Structure 1
Amino acid sequence: MARTADRYAFETHWGPRPVEGGTEFRLWAPSAPSIELALGDAAGKPADFLPMEKDAEGWWRIVTDRVKPGETYGFRLEGGLVVPDPASRRQFGDVHSLSVLVDPTDYEWKTANWNGRAWEETVFYELHPGTFSPSGDFGGIVEKLDYLKETGITAIELLPVAQFGGRRGWGYDGVLLYCPHEVYGGEAGLKRLVDAAHERGLMVFLDVVYNHFGPDGNYLGAYAPEFFHEEIHTPWGAAIAYDEQPVREFMIDNALFWLEEFRIDGLRLDAIDSIKDTTDTPLVKELAARVRQAFPGRHVHLTTEDDRNITWHIEREGGQPALVSAEWNDDFHHTAHVVATHEEEGYYADYSKKSVAQMAKALATGFVFQGEHSKHRGREVGVSSAHLPPTAFVNFLQNHDQIGNRAFGDRLADLASRRVVECLQAILLLSPQIPLMFMGEEFGATDPFCFFTDFDGELGAAVREGRRAEFKKFAAFHDEDARKLIPDPNAETTFEASKLDWSAISRPTYRRRLEMVKRLLEKRQKLIVPLLRGELPGQSGEYHVSDDTLAFVVAWHLKDGAVLHLFANLDDEPWALPSDVVTGDLTCGELLHAHPKDAEETLKSGVLPGPSVVFRLEGQKLLAGAGR
C-alpha cells in the first residue's frame, strides 16, 4: 500500500507499477511462447510492440517510459491477438480494447481520515448503478445520497461494477475485475461516489465475484490456461485454479485494492460455495485474514453468499468477527416469501406456507436448515448456528437475485398483501440481524427488476434461450409459448423497464411506506443498535410458534440483560396467546413499534390481531417454555 497525503494507491502483483525508469508491465503466462507489450496510438490502436522477458515463475515483464498516464497499452500474443491487461484500471473502450495507464494518486480525497462505521450500525441498501437513477451512473447515486441518509440507510451496497461485456448487465459477468465500468463513470466516478458517501457518514460496500469470469472479453485462457482447472466444473464453467499462487494473489489483491485505493468499507463475496479451491486453506479464509490484518485502524467488513449454511467463516472471537462479519441468510428470505406469497416451487419447496415455525427459527437461531434434510437439494444442509449472535446474519425480504431471477422480475409488493408486507418490513428492520433492502423497497416500489445483459450473436441467443429454459420446471412455463413471454435479457426494453421510478414517492401510498420505514430505522439506531455492541450472549434467541395460526413470539437476549420481544401474527385471524407462552405483564417495558397501532391495545388483553406485529423492549423475561 502507498499513501501520499490524501492520495491512495495499492500496489498489486498484477498490472503496471511505477518504477525507476518508467513503468513495469507484467503478465503471468507461464506456457506462452512469447508476449509483447503493445503500445497504443491516440486512437487506441496498437502502433508498436516491445518484446517482454519471462522469468522462472512464468511472469513476462518489461520496464519502459514509452507509456504515460492516460495512454494506452495491451499485450500481443504469439498468434497476433492483442488483449487488454487483465488488471486494467481503465479501458479505452470496451472489454476488447486496449487498457489505459492510470495514476491512482491523481485523486485527492476529501475524507481521507474516514475510518468507517461499526458493523452493528449497518443498514444495507442494495442498488444497481445502471437502474437506480435516471442517469444510470455513479453521479446519479451521489444525487440520492442525502435522500438515503435521511431515510436511515447507513450503507449502500453496489452490485458488481467490474467491467463486463456490453453496456448493461447485472455485473456478475465481469472480466476486468480491477476496472470500474466506464458506463458508470469509471474509476474517477467511483472514487467521487465513495468520497461523497463518506462526507455524509454513509458506508459503501461492493459486491465482488471470485467464483467465475464472464463469457465476453475473458482472454485469460488464451495466454494463461493455467488460470483455470478445465476438469473442475462450476455453474459458470471451468473452476479458477486457486492452487496457483499468482491466481490466488490476483483475487486477494483485488479485495485489498478496492478497500485501500477506493476506500470501500466492505465487500460481499458472491457465491463462495462455487469457489472450487483445491488447497488446504480456503480462499475466503486467507482473503478475510489478509483484510483483517491490513486494516486494523478502520471498520472494514466482509459478507458472503453461500447456500451450504456453514458457519466457520462467521465465527466470533471476543465478540468480534474473526474473519467474515456476516452471511446473507437466504433461509430467512425464503420462509418469509413463502408465508407471504404461498409459493412452493423450486427451492421454495423446502419451506412451509402454512407455518411460521421456520421464520421464527431463523430469527431466533440463524439458519432454518442446521443439518436437516433438504427435499429440494436431496441432502442434509447446514450446521448449528444458534450459538452465533444475530449480527452474524444479513436478513432481507428482497434482493437482486430474489427479484431478478423471477421470470418477470416482480417484487414482493406485487405478490403479497400490503398489510403482510408492512409487518414483514417491521420484522426485518427492528430484529437484531443486519437488515438489507433492495433499491425502492423503502417506498414499496413495484417496478420490475429483470435479468438483463447486452450480448449479441450466438452468445446473445444462448443467453436468451438459456434464460427461458431455466423456467421449464415451473408450472406456468411448461408451455413453450408461455416461455416466449419471458423478457429477452438482451433487449434494451428489458433494461429500461428495470429502472426505478422515483416519481412514485410523490403518491400517497408510496410516501406512507417511506415514512414508516424512516420511523423504523430511527428506532433501530436509537434503541436496538446500542444493544448489539460488544460481545452478545450465546444462544441469545428463543421462540414459540402457534399451532393453528401464522403467529409466533421471538425473544432475543441482548447486551446488559435487555430482552427484545417480537409478537407477530401474519394470519388474517386474531391470535389469543396461550397462557404457557407468556409470563408476567405483557405491557411491561417499552413499546418500540406496533403495526397497526391498535395491535398494542389488543395485545394487553392477550390477543394479537392479524396481520400485525408488536415489538417491546424490557429487562424481564416474558417467554416461558420457549423453543431454541
Structure 2
Amino acid sequence: MSRWGPEPLPGGGTRFRLWAPDADGVTLEIDGADAAAMERGDDGWYALDRAEGPGTRYRFRIGAQAVPDPASRVQSGGVHGWSVMPETAFDWQYPDWRGRAWEETVLLEVHAGTLGGFAGVTERLPAIAAAGITAIELMPVGAFGGMRGWGYDGVLPYAVHEAYGSPAELRRLVDTAHGLGLSVFLDVVYNHFGPDGNYLGAYAADFFDAEVHTPWGGAVAVERAPVARFFVDNALMWLRDYRIDGLRFDAVHAIGNPAFLDAMAAEIRAALPGRHVHLVLENEENDAARLRDAAFDAQWNDDFHNVMHVLLTGETSAYYADFADRPAERLARCLAEGFIYQGEGSANHDGKPRGSPSAHLPPTRFVAFLQNHDQVGNRALGERLVSLTDPSRLRAATALLLLCPQIPLLFMGEDEGSATPFLFFTDFHDELADAVREGRRKEFAKFDAFADPAARARIPDPNAAATFEASVPKPGEDADAWRAFYRELLMLRHERIVPHLAGATAVGAQALGEAAVVARWRLGDGTTLGVAIDLGDEPAALPGGADPFFTEGERFVAWIEP
C-alpha cells in the first residue's frame, strides 16, 4: 500500500508521493531545481524518486495551483508555503523511557502558543513535575492557517506549527519531560480540516464524504484506504518519531466510523509493544463499547464537568440544561457509573437518546475535569471557575476531582488560581475573519446573557492579536495557596489511591440532598475509598468514615476503610 509523505531511500535521496486521483498530472517543484513530472501509479498515487534529502524545499503543482504536501513534516512560510524534507536525527537523552501506567496519570492540558512555544513549555516542566502532575497534554500542534489559533483548524497534521518551534524543539520537550518522569500526550484532530490552507478537496475529492457533514465541513472518508492510512500513519508518526506517550482523539463522533477507530487502535497497539501508550477518546455519543477492552484507555467525561458546573455556578443555559434537573442525583450516577447519559433522551441532542450503559466499566475509563480548553474557551468571555464560584466550593470540587478514581485532567493555570481568561482566538483574514467573528457571536445567542445583540457585540474578536495576548495564563493573586492545595491533594492521590487503582470498582453513590453526594469504590487491595461533597447553600450532614484522610471545611471529606 502506498503511504503519504516523503520517504528517505536506503541509498540516499527521497521518494516523493501524493494521492491525487482527480489530477490529470502532478509536477514536483523543488526550490532551486527544475520541475519534474511525477509518475502516476495505481489508484491515483503519484510518485517520483529524487536525489535531494533533508532540508529540501518542495511542493506539488497541479494545473495552475501550487500546493504543499498534505503530509509535510515541516513547512516554510506557513500552510500555503513550501514543504521541507525534515531532519529526523535527534540525540535522545532518555531512549529507554517506556512511559507510565495509566492509573498513575494526572493530566495538565496546555496550549503551546500561549506558553511561549515548545521551548516555553519545556521551561515549565520541572515545576509541573514538582507539583505532582504526571503528564502534560498538548493541544493540537499540527500546522494551521495564520500564527495564532487553538489548533483544531489544522490542515497539515504531520507538520508542527511553525510559530511553536521546530520538530527538534518538540522532541526536546518530550525528552525533557521523560527525564522528569512526565508523560506527554497530544491532542489530534482526525474528524475534519480547517478552512485556511486545505487543498485536498481540489485534487482528491474522495478524501471527503459528500453525503456526511460535520459542524466544521465535510466529513473525512476514513472507509477509503488512502484516507485511513493518512490518519493511522499520522498517529504512528507522533508516537514513534516524537516518542509521544498518548493521543487524545478529538470529537470522534464526527468521524462516525467506530470500525475505523478500533482498527486504528489495534494497529497502534501492535506497532508499539513494550511501551505504555495511552489512547483517549472525546466522544459526545458516550459510546461505552469503545471502552470495553484495552483498545482505548478512556474517554473524556463531559458529563462530569457539566453537572459539576451546574452545581458550582447555577448556570443552566444551552447544553447545561441537560444537567439542571436533580444535579446531585446526576453527579451520584456519574461517580458510580461513569456516564450520566446512558441512552436517555437529551434536549441538547434534539431529544434523541445519547449514550450507552457504562456501569460495568472501571472508573479509570473516564477522564474527569472541572475545566479544559473547551469548557473555558468556548465561553463567550473565557472565564475560569475561580471567577464564577466561591473559593470554598471550588476547593471542594477540586478535592473531588483529584481524590476520586476517575483520571483527573487540569487546565493550564488552574493549579495556580489563574483568573486569566482563555478566549477563542484565530488568525484569519478578510472574509473568513468576518465569518468567524460573526459566527462566534451568533453562537451565543442561545445563552441568556447574550440574547441581546449589544451583549454579543462585547464578545472579543477572535482574530485580534489582543484576544490571544489576553489568554496567556498568569498566576492568580493567591497562587501560592492554590499551588500548596494542589500539591497536598496530589501527594495524597499518589500515596493513598493510585497504588490501588488497578481493579477498582464502584460500590455505589447517593445524593444526600439537592447539592450533596456520597460515593464509594472498592479499590484493588480490597479497601474502600469513600468521598462526600456538599456544594449547597445549606450544610448537609456528610459521612466521614472512621478515619478521614482529607477534609475541606464542611464541604468535602475523603476516607479509606477496610
**Range into which the TM-score falls when normalised by the shorter chain:** over 0.9
Q: Which residue of structure 2 lines up, in the alignment, with residue 531 of structure 1?
A: 500
Provide the rounded CA distance (Å) in 2 between the counterparts of 1:86 and 1:265.
Answer: 24
The answer on 1:448 being equivalent to 2:428 is no
Give the residue type in structure 1 aligned to 2:60: F
Residues 230, 238 of structure 1: 8 Å contact kept: yes
Q: CA deviation at 1:237?
A: 1.1
Q: Secondary structure at the match of 1:231?
A: strand
1:238 is displaced (CA, Å) by 1.0
* C-alpha deviation, 1:353, in angstroms: 6.4
Q: Which of 511, 515, 520 is residue 555 of structure 1 equivalent to? A: 520
Q: Distance in 2 between matches of 1:354 and 1:385?
A: 20
Aligned to 2:355: 382
User: Structure 1 residue 68 and structure 2 residue 25: aligned?
Assistant: no
Partner Cα distance (1:75, 1:52) in 2: 9
Secondary structure of 1:263 counterpart: coil
Are the counterparts in 2 of residues 12 and 257 from structure 1 also a CA contact under 8 Å?
no
What does the per-residue CA deviation read over 1:501-555, in whole Å, with 9 as the maximum and x for residues that have no partner? 14x4xx4x2211110100000010111001112x344xx23012124x4222101
1:327 matches 2:273:
no
2:440 pairs with one of 467, 471, 489: 467
Within a 5 Å distance, the mapping from 1:178-217 to structure 2 comes to 178-217=158-197
Q: Distance in 1 between matches of 2:451 and 2:320?
A: 18
Q: TM-score, normalised by structure 2?
A: 0.97
Match of 1:99 among 83, 89, 113: 83
Tell me the residue number matched to 2:273: 296
Q: Within 2, Cα distance between the matches of 1:551 and 1:474?
A: 27
Shift of 1:33: 0.2
Verify: 1:260 aligned to 2:240, yes or no. yes
1:88 aligns with 2:72: yes
Matching residue of 1:363:
335
Task: Give CA-to-partner distance per residue, 1:421-462, whole Å, 9 cap, x none.
Answer: 000000000001000000010121110000000000111111
Q: Which moved more, 1:289-298 or 1:515-524?
A: 289-298
Per the alignment, do residues 12 and 500 of structure 1 end up closer, same or farther by CA in structure 2, a change over 3 Å counting?
Answer: farther
- Runs of 5+ consecutive residues of structure 2 not aligned to the other structure: none
CA contact (8 A) 2:110 2:412 kept: yes
In structure 1, the partner of 2:7 is: 17
In 2, the alpha carbon distance for the partners of 1:201 and 1:353 equals: 43
Name the residue aligned to 1:516: 485
Query: Quick check: 2:223–2:260 contact (8 Å CA) kept in 1?
Result: no
Do the aligned partners of residues 430 and 21 (structure 1) sit closer, same or farther apart at CA in structure 2, a change above 3 Å counting?
closer
Determine whether 1:310 maps to 2:297: no
- In the other structure, the counterpart of 1:54 is 40
Q: Where do 5+ consecutive residues of structure 1 fail to align?
A: 1-10, 42-46, 317-321, 597-608, 620-628
- Distance, in Å, in 2 between the alignment partners of 1:39 and 1:31 is 22
TM-score (norm 1): 0.87
Contact 2:504 2:521 in 1 (8 A): no
Structure 2 partner of 1:115: 98
SS of the counterpart of 2:446?
A: coil
Deviation at residue 59 of structure 1 after TM alignment? 0.7
Q: Distance in 1 between matches of 2:86 and 2:415?
A: 38
% same residue? 50
Q: 1:138–1:193: 8 Å Cα contact kept in structure 2?
A: yes
What is the SS of the residue equivalent to 2:218?
strand
SS at match of 2:98: coil
Partners of 1:272 and 1:576 in 2: CA distance: 42
1:354, distance to aligned residue in structure 2 (A): 5.8
Return the alpha-carbon distance in structure 2 between the equivalents of residues 21 and 565 of structure 1.
Answer: 62
Cα shift readout 1:190-228 (whole Å, capped 9, x = no counterpart) = 101000100101000000000000100111111111111
Give 3-state SS (helix, strand or coil) of 1:406's partner.
Answer: coil
Q: Distance in 1 between matches of 2:300 and 2:507?
A: 18
For this pair of structures, how many residues does the alignment match? 560
1:388-427 correspondence runs (5 A): 388-427=361-400
Is the contact between residue 386 and residue 541 of structure 1 (CA under 8 Å) also seen in structure 2? no
Report the AA paired with residue 471 of structure 2: S
Aligned pair 1:128/2:111, yes or no?
Answer: yes
Task: Find the partner of 1:340 among 312, 328, 353.
Answer: 312
Please tell me whether the aligned partners of residues 74 and 160 of structure 2 are also in contact (alpha carbons under 8 angstroms). yes
Given that 1:423 and 1:613 are in contact with CA atoms closer than 8 Å, whether structure 2 keeps it comes out as yes
- SS of corresponding position for 2:445: coil
Report the alpha carbon displacement of residue 572 of structure 1 after superposing the two structures with TM.
2.8
Distance 1:54 1:155 in 2: 45
Residue 176 (1) aligns with residue 119 (2): no
In structure 2, distance between residues paired with 1:283 and 1:191: 29
- Distance in 2 (alpha carbons) for counterparts of 1:498 and 1:245: 40
Q: CA shift at 1:242, angstroms?
A: 1.3
Counterpart Cα distance in 2 of 1:271 and 1:514: 32
- Cα gap change, 1:141/1:32 in structure 2, threshold over 3 Å: closer, same or farther? same
What aligned pairs does 1:281-292 form with structure 2 within 5 A after superposition? 282-292=259-269
**How far apart, in 1, do the equivalents of 2:541 and 2:213 lie?**
53
CA drift of 1:232 comes to 1.5
